[in-house]
Amino acid sequence: MLKLRSSGLSCGVCANFRIPIPRCYMNSITTSSIDVKPKVPLYLRPPSFSASLSELTKWHKWAKNLASSVGSSFINLDNGPDSTLLRRELNWLLQDLIELQYRSVILSRLESGNNENPDVSVALRAPLEEMYCVWRQRIEKRRPFQYVVGCEHWRDLVLSVQEGVLIPRPETEVIIDLVEGVALNNAPELAQSFWADLGTGSGAIAIATARALATHARGDACGRVIATDLSSVAVAVATSNVQRYGLQDVVEVRKGSWFEPLKDVQGKLAGVLSNPPYIPSGDISGLQAEVGQHEPILALDGGISGTNDLLHLIDGVASMLKPGGFFAFETNGEQQCKFLVEYIENEKPGSFRDMNIVSDFAGIQRFVMGFCR
């Protein structure tokens, strides 16, 4: 779990351990009640199980053959993973599964086919019976690899994810680049106020924003982040991720829809960020199986044109931001961006300044950003 993984998950046209940060000691905000217990990612489970090397070798050979049988069929079907990517995922799964102390030795023997001492016991974080089941789900049911291992690497974070929570995508990292490179560089005082991450999912944007605020804070004054989500599962998972990174005094997770949980900070926010649902309803059935059949529809479906939630955010953000406050929203790209800018210019004249459309890593115009007047 020490290197960045990219599973190739695509959403429409989109294609390490704790790192301490300076703590900001402020009066705490009561966190929303959690009614869902998040699952523990595989790499964080204790190595409470074991199997002989011969049993593990048998499973590895079976899993590799199952991955190889896919060939390019998933690519041809819906631009899904090919055998090469699946075998790479299998190696990542083994890294999470095998107890750390002898991991490199065991992995080397599995790859080389070394059958010396086949009865030696290997400490595992899950039973092999479960591994047969989850790898079959990965291939036959197209269950996302991130749900199989229970986490996703995003920027320098390792975030817990599970069914019911959107898997954070690499392109969404650009939002944090905008927070640091545009908002905080141009207006450093924004690092000392409240920010909001709407539809937080795993808490990725909220956690990364909190760390950025701490880096840019002056003295002991540090900003806070309020993360909202309508999903009880997302609230539980985001809260767990916040706690694992020691940010529970800086990031508060609230359950509710968009701006509804933020009435106490209306007009006081320094920044509003969101990666909302933006896939047109008619496009959902054509998504990669890992996305359309497994990730939460609530986090994907943006209505007929894909802009229902984006327009709601645009309509509400001016009243939530304080003068000079910053916003950045992710979109489905290109036409949605242009539509939103035109909507702001026509329907919200004089509300914002320095609006801009920003491209993602693939050069697709993906983000709309600006400042409140």
Mean pLDDT is lowest, of 98-102, 194-198, 323-327, 364-368, for 98-102
Return the pLDDT at 116.
Answer: 78
The pLDDT value given to residue 28: 33
Residue range 346-363: average pLDDT?
Answer: 95
> 173: Cβ–Cβ under 8 A, 6 or more apart, which residues?
154, 155, 208
pLDDT in tens, 147-197: 999 999 999 999 999 999 999 999 999 999 999 999 999 999 999 999 999
Instruction: Give the pLDDT of residue 222.
Output: 84
Q: Which domains does the chain have, with CATH numbers?
A: 42-149 (no CATH), 154-372 (3.40.50.150)
Among residues 246, 186, 244, which one has the least CA distance to residue 216? Answer: 186
Across the range 46-52, mean pLDDT stands at 96
In contact, 217 and 22? CB cutoff 8 Å = yes
pLDDT digits (tens, 9 = 90+) for 14-46: 332 222 333 332 333 334 444 689 999 999 999
What is the rounded average pLDDT for all residues in the chain? 90
pTM greater than 0.75? yes
Per-residue confidence (pLDDT) for residue 9, from 0 to 100? 55
Q: Note the pLDDT tens digit of each residue in 52-69.
A: 999 999 999 999 999 999
> What confidence tens digit (pLDDT) does each residue in 200-248 have?
999 999 999 999 999 998 877 789 999 999 999 999 999 999 999 999 9
